[in-house]
């Protein structure tokens, strides 16, 4: 997220400098437009510097993860193979939260506060097609993210292991 903002700001600054240079060539510097652009560029410098400090602070961030096993049934209506039949999986869902550890507790989040229990209550021993039209591992991630968001949680990464060998995962932006 910050990186995109960073690039956008740099691009904006580059454009402004180009435009300012044009004005300088045509009208000379110290005109009204030249001054206006110089102020904008200075403002961008400050913003970019703030963002840089913020990113540096993020170097101290640590990720923590907790997993839960959910026994669920599903079928994939559009699948051409055997997945169109009703069957079950022992899904392993892994939630990852990333933050700078709290100064007092030394924790990103207490492991017991990672909301795996909420997932168990909602999805364990359920038929996933009741929650989604096409419950692929990918769509299950979107469903879990939406549900946890409503409960006030924003994991940075959600992994859904459909089998011991196959998983889907997504990294979420801070404001997603
Ligand atoms: Zn399946």
Phi-psi map region of 11: left, alpha, beta (phi>0 left; psi -120 to 50 alpha): alpha
What is the 98 CA–ligand 1 centroid distance (Å)? 30
pLDDT at 43 over 70: yes
Domains of the chain, residue spans: 2-59, 61-171
DSSP annotation of 121: H
pLDDT attached to residue 99: 93
Residue 83 known to be catalytic: yes
CB-based contact 158:103 (threshold 8 Å): no
What is the 82 CA–ligand 1 centroid distance (Å)? 9
What is the 73 CA–ligand 1 centroid distance (Å)? 8
pLDDT band for position 44 (cuts 50, 70, 90): very high
Active-site position among 87, 125, 166, 176: 125
Residues in the chain: 176
User: For 61-171, which CATH superfamily applies?
Assistant: 6-pyruvoyl tetrahydropterin synthase/QueD (3.30.479.10)
Q: Which two tokens stand for residue 87?
A: 């069957």
Residue 125 known to be catalytic: yes
Its pTM stands at 0.73
pLDDT digits over 108-147, tens only?
999 999 999 999 999 999 999 999 999 999 999 999 999 9
């Amino acid at each position: 997220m910050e990186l995109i903002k960073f690039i956008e700001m740099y691009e904006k600054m580059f454009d402004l400098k180009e435009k300012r240079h044009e004005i300088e060539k045509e009208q000379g510097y110290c005109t009204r437009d030249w001054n206006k652009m110089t102020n904008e560029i200075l403002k961008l410098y400050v913003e970019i510097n703030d963002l840089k400090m913020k990113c540096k602070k993020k170097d101290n961030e640590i990720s923590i993860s907790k997993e839960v096993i959910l026994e669920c049934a599903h079928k994939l209506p559009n699948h051409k193979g055997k997945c169109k039949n009703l069957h079950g999986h022992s899904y392993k869902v892994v939630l990852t939260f990333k933050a700078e550890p709290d100064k007092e507790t030394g924790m990103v989040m207490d492991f017991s506060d990672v909301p795996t229990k909420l997932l168990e209550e909602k999805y364990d021993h359920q038929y996933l097609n009741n929650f989604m039209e096409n419950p692929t591992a990918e769509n299950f991630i979107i469903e879990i993210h939406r549900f946890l968001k409503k409960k006030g949680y924003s994991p940075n990464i959600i992994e859904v292991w459909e089998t011991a060998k196959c998983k889907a995962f997504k990294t979420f932006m801070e404001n997603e």
